[in-house]
Amino acid sequence: MDLIIVLQAGVATGTVLLFATLGEILAERAGVLNLGVEGMMLFGAMSAFSIAVRTGNPWLGILVAMLAAGLISQIHAFITIQLQADQVVSGLSLNFLAVGVSLVLGEGLSKAGTVSLMTSYDIPLLNLIPIIGPVFFTNQKLLVYIGYVLFPLVWYYINHTRPGLHLRAVGEYPAAADTLGVNVYRLRYLYVFVGGLLAGLAGATISLAVSPGWFSELTTAGQGWIAIGLVIFAQWDPLRAAFGSYAFGALRRLVLDIQGPMTLFGYANPFYYNPYWGFFLQMLPYAFTIIVLVIGSREAVRKRLGAPAALGLPYIRGARGL
Amino acid sequence: MAEIVRSRPGRLARLFPYRVRVEPRLKEVPRWYVLMLSALSVLVALLIGAGVIAIAGGDPWRSYAHIARASFGSLGVFSDTMVKAIPLMLVGLACSLAFRMRLWNIGAEGQFFIGAFGASAVVLIPILPAEAPRWLFIITMIVFGMACGALWGFIPGYLKAKFNVNEIISTLMLNYIAVAWNNFFIFAVWTEGGFQMSRIFPQNAWLPRLTDFSAQFPIFRGLTTHFGLVLALLVAVVVWLILYRSQWGYEIRLLGDNPNAARYAGISTGRNIILVMMLSGAIAGLAGMSEISGVVHRLQGAISPGYGFTGIIVAWLAKLNPFAVIFVSILFGALILAGREIQPSGVPKMIQGIILVCLIASDFFMRYRITLVRRGEEK
């Protein structure tokens, strides 16, 4: 087993988590917790694959996936922002809805055909850097490179631009933002939509680039939930989110690949000879998410960091409180 | 006060000379209104679902007619509906208890699987010899199933109480872990001849079914409704007693409605989080036990069509009322039972999702009064 190859594939897997996590960070920074990420991703994965199979154009598939997930996210936006319902319950219901609709519309899609593999690229010069070059800049899909550009951009946008300031204000102290003429409702709708777009992109990345195909609920296999966990671990910071996503991607890959070779570092590979241990390997990403949550939550308490102050609270103009 | 600017009414205003006025309700809404609203949201959800089925190329009315016929059409199928409803009742009760404290236990599915594991362990390790009496088998399986479920609930409860770990995510992650854990035992340890299932349990580890009494009551012949129904009704009473007739229940409800007030009153948040998660997990574990011992009679992979998740919707539709959970479960049991044969196969899941969305949206009408005011008549 070539560790470099595993890490290289891990970065691609991590890109999925990265997109979803960034989207959720933007929505939560605006004060809207959207637990429907898993469902939106599945909806995106289904739409992307379905369009790509029919038209043969993966980029059209990605576009449709993003719009589809963005649109379905607006149900949650409407229910929580307009109707002021509980964000936890509404997010869960969006999740059920999106999963259900994906399964219905994706019926028979697994046998509908295949999509041609998206082309992989090397980045000249950068791919010559030892270790980093082959892991990050060799033989990766364009989507992966988009990820590298996206997370610093999102970080810069949130922390160093005026719209980013408005975004943070809406999530921390919407009443103050409102008095200054920021349209709290419109911005919250907008960022839930952006979160949906990115979740759709994450789903499309799975079904078109990372593990092409439609495998009903197994397509996403809980990655949306892991992304929500990563948001907490990342303390709502896109840079930490990138670190977490790629690390998790590598872990997911490692868990899959470690069972393949007969020897590991010159020793007999116990996972090869005991294939049933694979079930314990399967648990690892999920167990790790819990561990990462413990770390993130402890750190938040210690450093007095935390969620955006208005996260989960509906904004009612003229009401007391936040 | 601001004056209403009277201008020439626009075209729309002439067509529809009303204005929608939304104002917060000051009084609690009456009971019938809540019921009507829930029924209406289910109805709207079914209509939306019909639309999606039609888009996907199915025939919605045939699908719905089929659901009704295949779940309530005769005593036999109604009994099958009850079989599907029993785990939903228990899981719905587990969720209702936790949700009442605003503790989002989304892990009932995992607790269900681990409960099934615990109950199976009694037979398969074996903890009891195969010739042990039936009552001993069933009691031991209940204890083990509930204990395993409670342990699975304890983990997220402890993490939440101690480290403030978000229970939604930890319970969900534990679902995946529980399934992998069961699979390990099904594939590697208790496999029967290489198949992905354990050997079938001896008859004395089965929960009694109605058909077992067909000698005395011929009408029960072939009915598979099992003793789990009694367990579920019992648990409903217990949960109701806990929530509404005990001091602990008062603490749970206070923590759910106003955590700060509860803290000032000296109620321990952490202890209650752990205890409620454990009891919730135990009830979900009991659901797993009753499914294993009452229906499947062996440990295998496919023991749940998402009971743990449907239970969440059941709890919500029942407004967390333990007795309402029983009735709502029967409706959803019908959906699951009949949904198996409906194409496309995701339909039951989708309808559940749409029902939940409509239900949550309908809450708005409970908090706000919406009236149509004739233009020009407003003060």
Q: Do A96 and B367 touch (CB under 8 A)?
A: no
- Give CA separation, A214 vs B122, B287, B347, in Å: 39, 32, 17
A304 neighbourhood in chain B, CB within 8 Å:
none
Global pTM value: 0.90
Domain hosting A239: range is 3-303
Shortest Cα distance, chain A CAs vs residue B288, angstroms: 20
Q: What residue of B is the nearest CA neighbor of A84?
A: B364
Distance from CA of B47 to the nearest CA of A (A): 14
Two tokens, residue A240: 């930490």
Between helix A238-257 and helix A278-303 the angle, nearest 10°, is 160
Statement: residue A285 has pLDDT above 80: yes
What value, to the nearest 5°, has the Cα angle with vertex B303 and ends B297 and B307?
125
- Measured between beta carbons, which residues in chain B are less than 8 angstroms from residue A286? 173-174, 176-177
CA nearest to A97 within chain B = B353
Residue A308 is assigned to a structural domain of this protein: no
- In this structure, what are the phi and psi dihedrals at residue A191, rounded to the nearest 5 degrees? -75, -30
pLDDT at A321 over 90: no
Q: Which of A43-47, A93-97, A118-122, B187-191 has the lowest mean pLDDT?
A: A118-122
Return the pLDDT at B4.
Answer: 46
Which pLDDT score, from 0 to 100, does residue B47 have?
92
A102 close to A43: Cβ distance less than 8 angstroms: yes
Residue A313 lies in a domain: no
What percent of chain A is modeled with pLDDT above 90? Answer: 57
pLDDT tens sequence across B334-371: 988 887 777 667 788 888 889 989 998 888 888 888 88
**In this predicted model, what pLDDT tens digit does every residue of B229-274 receive, in sequence order?**
999 999 999 999 999 999 999 999 999 999 999 999 999 999 999 9
Nearest to B356 among A96, A216, A282 (CB): A96
Q: What distance in Å separates the CA atoms of residue B365 and residue A85, rounded to the nearest whole number? A: 11
Strand partners for B192: B195
pLDDT of residue B5: 47
The answer to whether the CB atoms of A107 and B188 lie below 8 A apart is no
Predicted local confidence at residue B261, as pLDDT: 93
A172: CB partners within 8 A, 6+ apart: A31, A308, A309, A310
SS3 content of chain B, % helix, strand, coil (to 5): 70, 5, 25
CATH number assigned to the domain comprising residue A266: 1.10.3470
Q: What is the nearest CA distance from A25 to chain B, expressed in angstroms?
A: 16
**Which residue from B343, B349, B360 is facing A100, i.e. has the nearest CB?**
B349
Q: Do A99 and B349 touch (CB under 8 A)?
A: yes
Q: Which of A93, A97, A297 sits opposite B164 (nearest CB)?
A: A297
Query: Min CA distance, A170 vs chain B (Å)?
Result: 23
pLDDT band at A322 (very low <50, low <70, confident <90, very high): very low
Nearest-angstrom CA–CA distance, B64 and B268: 48
| Number of Cβ within a 10 Å radius of residue B187 | 18
Residues in chain A closer than 8 A to B188 (CB atoms): 276, 279
pLDDT given for residue A304 in this prediction: 66
Listed in sequence order, the residues at least 6 apart from B344 whose beta carbon sits closer than 8 Å to its beta carbon are A103, A104, A105, A107, A108, B53, B56, B58
Mean pLDDT (chain A, rounded): 90
pLDDT at A320: 61
pLDDT over threshold 50, residue B185: yes
The reply to whether residue B349 touches residue A103, judged by beta carbons under 8 angstroms, is yes
CA distances from A96 to A100, B53, B170, B313 (A): 6, 16, 18, 9
CA distance linking residue B239 with residue B92, whole number of Å: 11
Query: Which two tokens mark B193?
Result: 């001849």
Backbone torsions φ then ψ of B184, nearest 5 degrees: -55, -45
Nearest CA in chain A to B99: A89
- For every residue of B184-234, DSSP letters joined together read HIIIIIS-BTTBSB-PPPPGGGSPPBGGGGTTT-GGGTT---BTHHHHHHH
- For residue A277, being part of any structural domain is answered with yes
Residues of B with Cβ-Cβ distance to A301 under 8 angstroms: 164
Smallest Cβ–Cβ distance between A104 and the set B56, B168, B183 belongs to B56
Q: What is the pLDDT of residues B310-328, one digit of tens each?
A: 999 899 889 999 999 999 9
User: Average of pLDDT values for A70-89?
Assistant: 93
A140-141 and A120-121 strand pairing: antiparallel
* Contact residues on chain B for A86, CB-CB shorter than 8 A: 360
Q: Cα dihedral sign for A246, A249, A255, A260?
A: negative
Please report whether residue A48 resides in a domain. yes
Q: Which residue has the tokens 């399986």?
A: B141
Calculate mean pLDDT across residues A39-59.
94
Q: In the predicted model, is pLDDT for residue A212 greater than 90?
A: no
Contact flag B184-A276 (C-beta cutoff 8 Å): yes
Q: Is A260 helix (H, G, I), strand (E, B) or coil?
A: coil
Q: How far is A269 from chain B (nearest CA, A)?
A: 18
Q: Are strands B18-24 and B368-374 parallel, antiparallel or unpaired?
A: antiparallel
CB pairs under 8 A between A and B: 149
Mutant choice from A93, A217, A231 vs B, greatest count of B C-beta within 10 A: A93
Chain A residues with beta carbon closer than 8 angstroms to that of B340: none
b/e B111-141 (16+ beta carbons within 10 angstroms → b)? bbbbbbbbbbbbbbeeebeeebeeeebbebb
Q: How far apart are CA A275 and CA A304, in angstroms?
A: 45
Select the residue of A79, A96, A276 nearest B361 (Cβ to Cβ): A79
Cβ(B88)–Cβ(B332) below 8 Å: yes
Residue A22 near residue A198, CB atoms below 8 Å: yes
Residues in A closer than 8 angstroms to B55, CB to CB, are 105
Query: Do residue B173 and residue A225 have CB atoms under 8 angstroms apart?
Result: yes
Average pLDDT over residues B52-58: 81
- State residue B214's pLDDT score: 85
- A245-269 pLDDT, tens digit each: 999 999 988 888 888 777 777 777 7
Q: Which of B360, B365, B367, B369 to mutate to test the interface with A (most CBs of A within 10 A)?
A: B360
What is residue B8's predicted lDDT score, i.e. its pLDDT?
56
How far is residue A207 from each of residues A43, A140, B46, measured CA to CA in Å?
11, 16, 30
Cβ–Cβ gap B367/A276 under 8 Å: no
- The DSSP symbol for A269 reads -
Please tell me the distance from the alpha carbon of residue A241 to that of residue A229, in angstroms, as a whole number.
Answer: 10
In angstroms, the CA A82 to CA A59 distance is: 33
Confirm whether A254 is domain-assigned: yes
A119: left (phi over 0), alpha (psi -120 to 50) or beta: beta
Write the pLDDT tens digit of every residue in B77-114: 999 999 999 999 999 999 999 999 999 999 999 999 99
What mean pLDDT do residues A58-72 have?
Answer: 96
Q: Two tokens at B195? A: 């198949």
Subunit contact B354:A97, Cβ cutoff 8 A: yes
Shortest CA gap A74–chain B (Å): 12
Cβ pair B168:A35 closer than 8 A: yes
In whole angstroms, give the CA distance from residue A250 to residue A113.
29
Query: Over chain B, what is the mean pLDDT?
Result: 89
A90-95 mean pLDDT: 91
User: Across the interface, do A286 and B347 touch by the CB < 8 Å criterion?
Assistant: no
Is the residue at A322 inside a domain?
no
With a cut of 60, say whether residue B6 has pLDDT above it: no
CB contact under 8 A, B181 and A75: no
Q: Are B163 and A298 within 8 A, CB to CB? A: yes
Q: Which residues of B touch A300 (CB under 8 A)?
A: 164
Higher pLDDT, A300 or A153: A153
Taking CA atoms, what residue in B is nearest to A229? B169
Domains of chain B, with CATH numbers? 28-58+345-379 (no CATH), 85-342 (1.10.3470)
User: Do residue A103 and residue B364 have CB atoms under 8 angstroms apart?
Assistant: no
Residue B135 contacts by C-beta under 8 Å, 6 or more apart in sequence?
none
Q: Cβ separation of B173 and A101 shorter than 8 Å?
A: no
Asked if B177 lies within 8 A of A286 by C-beta distance, the reply is: yes
pLDDT of residue B141: 96
User: At A111, which helix (H) or strand (E)?
Assistant: none
For residue B106, the chain A residue with the least C-alpha distance is A92
Number of structural domains (chain A) is 1
* Residue among A314, A182, A249, A266 at smallest CA distance from A20: A249
Signed CA dihedral, A158, A161, A167, A173: sign only: positive
| Position A232, amino acid | I
CB contact under 8 A, B352 and A90: no
Asked whether residue A64 carries a pLDDT value surpassing 80, the answer given is yes
Give the mutation candidate from B52, B160, B177 for the A interface (greatest A CB count, under 10 A).
B177
